[in-house]
């Protein structure tokens, strides 16, 4: 950043210095040119160019050009007459010949226009104006450019120091600014290095500015908070899973050890133990499946599509009738579509239907309604204990009425997770007239 700022300032200052130099140079040389033009406008002496002896003979010009007034730039020291035949006659205050160019002879011959040119006259840098004088003659006026060159030399030196000073100042300020700008990024780097070394996600970066770097620090802190929450949730899930798995595994191992001594067991006791082992194995399999589903739900959703919610609920009701033949399912669906993951949505609806069937009495009725507002499932069972309502969707939570039934305590937690992933929510309440009602609100639209 320092180098970039220095280069940018150097280019800008150099261009400004160049423009200033060219402007001053053009102005100074323009003054010299105007002085020469004023000299040209002074009338020639009477009888200039006449006489039998030619322009430089006895009948030629009897005097010199009159000096230029001080208000017009002072005297012009170099003046000479030339013709088209290489004859040269200095007539100025300095009797020094001005180098004659072919173009100047063309002016004397009347075939070229007056012009300005630079020349070296006796070692002096001179500005020369060549104009026609009639009768095959031309006059050249020369003024020294040494004073102008001296001024321009000093100006060049000053501008060089200005450019160098500007670059030095730009480097210093660029370094100061870049250090202030990069400082928060250094804090971010230090925090990332610390987290990589210690796995401490509790560290945060102090946001000192409101610019892009400050915004970066805010997003970094938000990312750390998200990661910290995710890690905490994973640790809690592992701890809860370990606690929930310990009981069925311990019981299963005990029963297997007892069955290993089946020779001393009565047949009816052995059959009971086998039934317990089968039931515990099924429960353990369901628990593992729910854990896998819950863990998969924390992954970013990649495959999303337009899902017909009404068709999905119809399929879920058909499945629920097959798994719970003793329960009556009354479904009312309206066309609705939403953007989401079909598999996850189907799992959430299936869990709600299984939960309603589980808490319904034999031959009970489960009412299902699906539409643009989402899915609503109501059973006609004993309802929900008010003490269980705040914790109903927590992981591994099982209310008093569910502890005697098989289940992992993860079904409703999965429903809440799916709802939040799709920008919705889930709510449970006791329905008027008895039973529980679960409402899965989803951002669906009527097709």
Instruction: Kindly report which listed range (6-10, 41-45, 413-417) carries the lowest average pLDDT score.
Output: 41-45
Instruction: Kindly report which listed range (97-111, 119-133, 178-192, 331-345) carries the lowest average pLDDT score.
Output: 178-192
In this prediction, residue 69 carries a pLDDT of: 46
User: What's the maximum distance between 2 C-alpha atoms anywhere in the chain?
Assistant: 163
Q: How confident is the model at residue 396 (pLDDT cuts 50, 70, 90)?
A: confident
Residue-level length of the chain: 447
Helix (H, G, I), strand (E, B) or coil at 201: coil
CB within 8 A of 60, min separation 6: which ones? Answer: 49, 50, 51, 53, 54
Residue corresponding to tokens 């003979």: 57
Query: Which tops the pLDDT comparison, 397 or 368?
Result: 368
Q: How confident is the model at residue 277 (pLDDT cuts 50, 70, 90)?
A: confident
Q: Is the distance from CB of 142 to CB of 126 less than 8 angstroms?
A: yes
**What is 50-144's CATH number, 1.10.10, 3.30.450, 1.10.3470, 3.40.33?**
3.30.450
In this prediction, residue 402 carries a pLDDT of: 56
Instruction: Give the pLDDT mean for 380-400.
Output: 81
Nearest in space to 126 (alpha carbons), one of 103, 96, 87: 96
Query: Which tops the pLDDT comparison, 61 or 296?
Result: 296
Q: How far apart are the first and last CA of the chain?
A: 55
Q: Is the distance from CB of 181 to CB of 208 less than 8 angstroms?
A: no
Q: Is the distance from CB of 170 to CB of 6 less than 8 angstroms?
A: yes
Tell me: pLDDT of 252 over 90: no
- Around Cβ 300, how many Cβ atoms within 10 Å? 5
Q: How confident is the model at residue 231 (pLDDT cuts 50, 70, 90)?
A: confident
Return mean pLDDT, the chain: 80
- For residue 368, what is the enclosing H or E element? strand 365-371
**What is 212-295's CATH number, 2.40.50.140, 1.10.287.130, 1.10.1270.20, 3.40.50.2000?**
1.10.287.130
Q: Is the distance from CB of 367 to CB of 377 less than 8 angstroms?
A: yes
Q: How confident is the model at residue 319 (pLDDT cuts 50, 70, 90)?
A: very high
User: Which pLDDT tens digit goes with each residue over 54-108?
Assistant: 444 444 443 445 554 434 445 677 888 888 776 788 877 777 888 888 888 888 8
Class level of CATH domain 304-441: alpha beta
Question: Distance (Å, rounded) from C-alpha 115 to C-alpha 138?
Answer: 11
CA-CA-CA-CA torsion for 342, 348, 350, 355, nearest 10 degrees? Answer: 180
Q: The pTM is what?
A: 0.49
Tell me: pLDDT of 273 over 70: yes
> Strand pairing of 115-121 and 88-90?
unpaired
- For residue 52, what is the enclosing H or E element? none
Question: Distance (Å, rounded) from C-alpha 102 to C-alpha 339?
Answer: 88
């Amino acid at each position: 950043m320092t180098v970039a700022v220095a280069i940018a300032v150097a280019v800008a200052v150099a261009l400004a210095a160049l423009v200033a130099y060219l402007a001053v140079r053009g102005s100074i040389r323009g003054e010299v040119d105007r002085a020469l033009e004023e000299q040209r406008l002074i009338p020639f002496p009477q009888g200039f160019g006449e006489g039998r002896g030619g322009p430089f003979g006895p009948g030629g010009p009897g005097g010199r050009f009159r000096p230029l007034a001080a208000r017009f730039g002072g005297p012009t020291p170099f003046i000479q007459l030339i013709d088209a035949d290489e004859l040269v006659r200095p007539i100025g205050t300095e009797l020094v010949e001005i180098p004659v160019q072919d173009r100047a002879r063309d002016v004397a011959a009347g075939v070229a226009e007056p012009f300005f040119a630079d020349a070296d006259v006796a070692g002096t840098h001179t500005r020369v104006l060549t104009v026609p004088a009639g009768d095959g003659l031309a006059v050249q006026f020369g003024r020294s450019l040494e004073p102008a060159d001296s001024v321009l030399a000093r100006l060049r030196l000053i501008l060089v120091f200005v450019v160098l000073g500007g670059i030095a100042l730009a480097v210093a300020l660029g370094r100061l600014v870049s250090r202030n700008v990069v400082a928060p990024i250094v804090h971010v780097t230090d925090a990332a290095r610390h987290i990589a070394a210690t796995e401490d996600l509790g560290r945060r970066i102090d946001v000192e500015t409101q610019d892009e770097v400050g915004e970066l620090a805010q997003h970094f802190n938000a990312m750390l908070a998200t990661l910290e929450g995710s890690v905490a949730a994973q640790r809690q899930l592992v701890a809860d899973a370990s606690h929930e798995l310990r009981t069925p595994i311990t019981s299963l191992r005990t029963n297997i050890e007892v069955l290993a001594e089946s020779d001393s067991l009565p047949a009816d006791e052995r059959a009971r133990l086998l039934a317990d082992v089968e039931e515990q194995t099924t429960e353990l399999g369901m628990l593992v499946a729910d854990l896998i589903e819950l863990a998969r739900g924390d992954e970013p959703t990649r495959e999303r599509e337009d899902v017909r919610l009404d068709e999905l609920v119809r399929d879920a009701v058909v499945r629920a009738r097959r798994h719970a033949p003793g329960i009556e399912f009354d479904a009312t669906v309206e066309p609705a579509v939403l953007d989401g993951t079909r598999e996850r949505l189907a799992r959430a609806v299936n869990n709600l239907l299984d939960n309603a069937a589980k808490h319904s009495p034999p031959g009970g009725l489960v009412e299902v309604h699906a539409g643009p507002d989402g899915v609503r499932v109501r059973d006609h069972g004993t309802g929900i204990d008010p003490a269980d309502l705040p914790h109903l969707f927590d992981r591994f939570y099982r209310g008093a009425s569910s502890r005697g039934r098989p289940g992992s305590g993860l079904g409703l937690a999965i429903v809440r997770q799916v709802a939040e992933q799709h920008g919705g929510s889930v709510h449970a309440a006791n329905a008027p007239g008895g039973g529980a009602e679960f409402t899965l609100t989803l951002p669906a639209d009527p097709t």
